[in-house]
Chain A
């Protein structure tokens, strides 16, 4: 209910710091390699690249807002993609007329979203009704979801889609890549959910103090179910984008995205203990990451080095965000 945010607050908010970082990284890359970084081709390719893990980061964000975490996002994404892929390869083929394959694509998307929602429901039920800690619940369920994907495919990739599938991941609409549009829509939706609905405020309040939420007569079980269903749906959308871009589906795609999703959420200022998080922060974090990643790519830094940089960044951001340095200094003096 921060009805009025005074100007003083804007510059001290962690999101403002992120904006500065995003602009700085963009500027740095633009200066280091103007003709390549600022080329239309690079900018477009960036816009195609990041939405898939950015959407997973949004899913992670809402789980973290409750003080939980969703370690099953990648598993849900792959299971959804595998189910959609199996439907597509079983019932449609490249020779089919576009109208017919579009119907099968719609059915496959619907099935993937159902899988995402069901998986979310399972996670939510484990956390809400069985009282499992979210880490364990989603660790276990993530294995189960991945396991189903393996069992259904025997561990190999499913491929051979009709060309309509490329619409999700590789097409543009008015010159804007479809994945980017999907991400933007989901980000706006999540932002509105978190800040403008009763459910969103309950999520924040529950994250701040679960026991007080119980005493405030908040229907916690229902809220948690919704949270994990939303996370599941977002994950399955990310899965569909991955499937379309890779033109195949496999149980172990995007295994590094889990870390990336946590990293972006934390980088975006979401409190892993719950109770604080803003979508705008997550979006800015995604952009900084993508600018950096793309820049490193141009500087021909290997994937492995990038992993190293992500990890270091995650810890650096935690150190800054939690004022850990003051804690360190304080630890050598009596506390006040």
Chain B
């Protein structure tokens, strides 16, 4: 008996995704021994930071029973407008301040979503589709549509900061930027909130049954509102990190990524009906998507097939459990 494993271990999405990742790595290492090195790992980690932070937010929304497609627009809005703001008033501001303002902008836009969803009760997909274009349209019309590569110096300092860097004896170069700490911080903070606070449990409860949550006295509206504010704040953080690390405030970046991020979260086992989703699963999903986006070529699949691969992964990752559930329901009669 393997009591230390959860009962549904073998049927969980997490297990499936982890399996695919391992399989991918094995094949990749066989076809190109250079794949499995610290260089690749640190490259992939760097690529995963922004997507990872966004995915944590997207997961939270799915757990609460909604779906958000506007977070990329929030991220780019918060990043670009805080950059523009500081370039105008205080170009030498320290980066933590710029980051805080970006996070604040994000939270504000999240509150905009939250108002329509929590207090007006509108369908989340439609609202966030709408705000996606509102945020983007507003940004490009009123704030600016030019790429800015002349960022406040402190942002560039941030992008140079590394936790570790070096070259292994085999000559593999690696570096892990400060931004990795941000992802870690977001994960830890969200984990504590989801597992250890009543607020977090309330989010799961609402995802499980809104009506029941209302009946036992959970403040459903404010909890939902909080979810969108929190997601907005995370998007603001992800956006400014994206801008700093890329050393460019590009108002056209990030938007378009939302479906890949949601794909990562759904692959990790979060369900659209709400109430289900784990950070472990989300991070595994992010890892898989990042690997597919960056290393497909290593296993001999041309980069032009990236979209197809991700699409098929989504269909398999969500289709297999859905089909299994359908069969189980039919069997139960």
Contact = CB atoms under 8 A, between A and B. Distances in A.
Given A133-B272, A135-B272, A302-B141, A140 B119 contact: no
Contacts of B235: none
B120 A273 contact: no
Interface stretch (B14-22, B193-201, B319-327): B319-327
B302 A311 contact: no
Interface stretch (B165-173, B238-246, B306-314): B306-314
Contact of B311 (A135, A142, A318, A325): A142
B37 interface: no
Contacts of A312: 130, 134
B146 interface: no
Nearest to A122: B315
A275 B326 CA distance: 23
B182 interface: no
Contact of A136 (B120, B134, B272, B305): B272
B319 A266 contact: no
Interface string B135-163: 11111110001000000000000000000
Interface stretch (B52-60, B202-210, B258-266): B258-266
Contacts of B126: 262, 266, 272, 314-315, 318
A152 B55 CA distance: 30
A155 B325 CA distance: 38
A308 to B, nearest CB: 3
B310 A143 contact: yes
A304 B312 contact: no
B137 A304 contact: yes
A94 interface: no
A308 B121 contact: no
Question: Chain B interface secondary structure, helix, strand, loop or mixed?
Answer: helix
B217 to A, nearest CB: 14
Contacts of A139: 259, 262-263, 314
A147 B120 contact: no
Interface stretch (A20-28, A124-132, A278-286, A287-295): A124-132
Interface string A141-160: 11111111011001100000
B67 interface: yes
Count class of interface residues, chain A? 35 or more
A259 to B, nearest CB: 6
A131 B320 CA distance: 10
B122 A132 contact: no
A309 B319 contact: no
A130 B329 CA distance: 12
B297 interface: no
Contact of A272 (B125, B145, B325): B125
B46 interface: no
Contacts of B136: 304, 307-308
Contacts of B95: none
Nearest to A327: B121
Interface string B102-144: 0000000000000010011111011101111111111111000
Given A136-B272, A151-B302, A315 B322 contact: no
B293 interface: no
B127 A147 contact: no
A304 B145 contact: yes
A311 B123 contact: no
Interface in B224-276: 256, 259, 262-263, 266, 272-273
Contacts of A155: 304
Contacts of A140: 263, 311-312, 314-315, 318-319
B307 A150 contact: yes
A124 B285 CA distance: 26
A311 B304 contact: no
21 contacts: A130-B322, A136-B266, A136-B315, A137-B315, A139-B263, A140-B318, A147-B305, A148-B308, A150-B304, A262-B129, A304-B145, A306-B137, A311-B130, A311-B133, A314-B126, A314-B130, A318-B126, A319-B116, A322-B121, A324-B122, A327-B120
10 tightest A-B contacts by CB? A308-B137, A147-B307, A143-B311, A147-B308, A311-B133, A144-B311, A304-B140, A140-B314, A311-B134, A307-B137
Interface of A: 69, 126, 129-133, 135-137, 139-148, 150-151, 154-155, 255, 259, 262-263, 266, 272-273, 302, 304-312, 314-315, 318-319, 322, 324-325, 327-328, 331
